[in-house]
Amino acid sequence: MTLLVAVHDLMKRPGQMREIQIDHAPEMGIGTSVVEVPAKSTVKISLRLESVHEGVLATGEVFAAAEAQCSRCLDPINLDVEVDFQELFAYSSSSDEDLVVLSEHIDLEQVLIDSIVLNLPFQPVCSKTCLGLCPECGIRLTQDLEHGHEKPVDPRFSALQDFANKEE
């Protein structure tokens, strides 16, 4: 589903400006498999539209809540997402990558997705002091700061270990 905003009142009227608030519920989650803004959750957009000679300048702030797993201890975490963006929607396109005004509307969906995804953490953590999990047994290291295991016997000396057990 696209996020279309009508701009017919701003077209070809440089200096005109309008501010709007949008509550959007994306059909699909926005993010990665590690951290994402879930589908159907509310994304609030505070948008300022300005008419300029080349097109319509969209400046906005996005507010959303993302869900993730701590990359160290795998606990679920919630993150507040606050993102600023500014994009020009041109009246005519000079390349395929330009954002354009189509049928007196601008489509903010790709701008929204790009803004959110680029500002999500690559490896989210529940806290800066999170120690993660023990690689051998999986216990949370923050629960037991003295946690440790005996060092494994070097396989080259395993025959000597058997010899020591026979002596006893």
- For 35-46, the pLDDT digits (tens) are 999 999 999 999
In a domain, 123, yes or no: no
93 and 144 within one domain? no
pTM above 0.85, yes or no: no
What token pair was written down for 164? 């020591």
167 and 138 within one domain? yes
Owner of token pair 């957009």: 45
137 and 114 within one domain? no
- Report which listed range, 15-24, 92-101, 149-158, is most confident: 15-24
pLDDT over 70 at 143, yes or no = yes
Average pLDDT, the chain: 85
Residue 167 buriedness (CB in 10 A; 0-12 / 13-18 / 19+): exposed
In a domain, 19, yes or no: yes
Structurally, the chain folds into a number of domains equal to: 2
Owner of token pair 């600023």: 84
Arithmetic mean of pLDDT, 6-29: 88
In a domain, 124, yes or no: no
Q: Determine the structural domain holding residue 168 and report its residue range.
A: 131-168
Check residue 4 and give its pLDDT: 87
